[in-house]
Chains A and B, each alone.
Chain A
Amino acid sequence: MFKYPYIAEAQRVHLKEVAQAIIAAYNVMECQVMNVGTNDLAAGLDFILEMKNTANFPFISANTKDASTDKFLFEPYTIVKTHDQTLGFVGVTKGDKRVQEFAFSDPIEAAQKAIDEIKDKVDLVFLMANADDKLETALIAKVKGIDFLIRSKSGSLQRIPKQQDGTTIIRIGKQGKYAGVLKIRNVDDVSQMKNVSSQYTRIKFTDNRLKAMSKGLEEGMTLEEHFAKDENRLKLITRLRDERKTNIDLIKKLKNSYYLEPIALNEKIEDTPEVALIVKDYMPKEKEKTKKDKVKRH
């Protein structure tokens, strides 16, 4: 919720309001889980516990402790159920001495302990790691049973996720520049997870082409009927439908597969009104500052 593991005293009130806005927005978005990163602890113990109570979703961390009691502060994992899958999410963070009210146990041991607790109860294990490159490497090498490692604090977006020792590593960048849509098909627990991004990209392409051709189509009429007299269009429609089917069949043939679609959260993305209202309510100073900056520039 904060940029650094410390907060300048002059900004404390404002930054805490911003953090409250973030949690309020995540509540609206119906988030399912948040891994508490080290910087999230910057405003202190009482504040993070207040935020945890405000949130409608669990805060998790398998290795964050209250330094004064040496007790763990959050649940180490959470389990999320979809219509037919049970997913386990474990959280760890690297830690930092500057967040003095907190202590951190070894993230590798903590992750392994949490995974061992849930591995028989879930179909897939996701390790959410607030980690640098060194810790990421160590987690992959030493922790057994991670299906997906989802990392924050990563320098840049990795469009084609790396796979290592049975773990798929998702690095979605930083600074909220991207959201990642991760589609997963998980049929059994023995087949390797295969990246089917290129197949999904082609399916999306064929769908878009077919959709574009469907514009103005009379209700109940097929594309083939509409273009019955246009041989070239008919050939194109057949080719697109065949290509779509080939790619879908290929994905279905693979038992376990995934597809990561990074979405750039730029100005083209429309704000959801409920979230935009939360942001507006909590960001008056930012807005005033921007206005002043604009006036100065003129």
Chain B
Amino acid sequence: MKLLLKRSGLMLLLIVLVAVGCKSETTPKYNPNEFTLMVAASNDGEVGPCG
């Protein structure tokens, strides 16, 4: 996963989420019962989440 946005001067008041399956670092399979969310909350001007 890579962060997509840094300080940008953007303005927002929200939460954004990206839900992705969680892949094992050593195998390309998804780990059962695991997942990763990216969450962000912002209200005056910087950033958001990742994917």
Interface residues of A in 1-40 (CB under 8 A from B): 1-3, 15, 18-19, 21-22, 25-26, 28-40
The answer to whether B17 touches A174, judged by C-beta atoms less than 8 angstroms apart, is no
A83 contacts across to B, CB distance below 8 A: 21, 30, 35
- Of the listed stretches A106-114, A180-188, A217-225, A230-238, chain B binds A180-188
- Give the total of B residues in contact with A, Cβ under 8 Å: 45
Give the CA-CA distance A272 to B8 in the complex, in Å: 12
Q: B35: which A residues are within 8 A, CB to CB?
A: 82-83, 85, 87, 183-184
A177 to B38, CA, bound (A): 14
* Residues of chain B lying within 8 A (CB to CB) of residue A80: 17, 19
Q: State whether A175 touches B9 (Cβ < 8 A).
A: no
The verdict on A271 contacting B13 (CB below 8 Å), with A3-B45, A154-B41 known, is no
B33 at the interface (CB under 8 A from A): yes
Asked if A286 is an interface residue, CB under 8 A from chain B, the answer is yes
* Chain A residue at smallest Cβ distance from B7: A265
Question: B33 and A150: CB pair below 8 A?
Answer: no
Q: Which residue of A lies closest to B6 (CB)?
A: A269
- Give which listed residue, A3, A184, A185, A270, contacts B44 with CB less than 8 A: A3
Given contacts A174-B41, A175-B44, A271-B6, contact A1 B33 (CB under 8 A): no
Q: A85, A181, A183, A266: which contacts B6 (Cβ < 8 A)?
A: A266
Is B7 a contact of A82 with CB atoms below 8 Å? no
**In angstroms, how far is the closest chain A Cβ from the Cβ of B15?**
5
